[in-house]
Amino acid sequence: MLTKRQNLSLHVLWLTLTRSAARLAVPFLGNIIAGKSEATEIRQEGCVMVDPELIKLPKNARTFALQVRGDSMKNAGILEGDVVVMEFREARHGDVVAALIDGETTLKRFIIRNGVAYLRAANPKYPDLIPANELVIQGVQVALLRLSKR
């Protein structure tokens, strides 16, 4: 248990940090499936406030946030209900990405093998997704937010 003096010190520290820290409003664009991909409608539903220095965002990063639905990325520590912060940038092998694959959106790991790009789940019950026609990377994960259930 904190003493009254420790509690006051903690409160003063909290006030100092929250007033001085720069915050970035990241557009919250709804849900993304971490499971079987599906067609989804993107619409802004508000913003998520983040500290760009804490998540090491470049100064002019273009970002958006999505809430995860499904369990295909659970072995990567991404769980149902988590919020992923994504950056519009080119994906590299091994990045977790929001991707449009053959007209459907999903959250998976981006893999390049023998010059062929495809998506891989972080849960063995889901198969690799090899595009028949198109694979468009919509964003690369730069942060993960998990809210405790109250």
Which residues are designated catalytic? Answer: 72, 108
Is the separation of the CB atoms in 106 and 119 below 8 Å?
A: yes
One-letter identity of residue 60:
N
Q: Pairing mode, if any, of strands 63-69 and 47-50?
A: unpaired
Written as one string, the DSSP assignment of 1-46 is ---HHHHHHHHHHHHHHHHHS--EEEEEEEEEESSS-B--------
Apex CA 85: angle with CA 47 and CA 45, to 5°? 30
Question: In angstroms, how far is the first alpha carbon of the chain from the final one?
Answer: 21
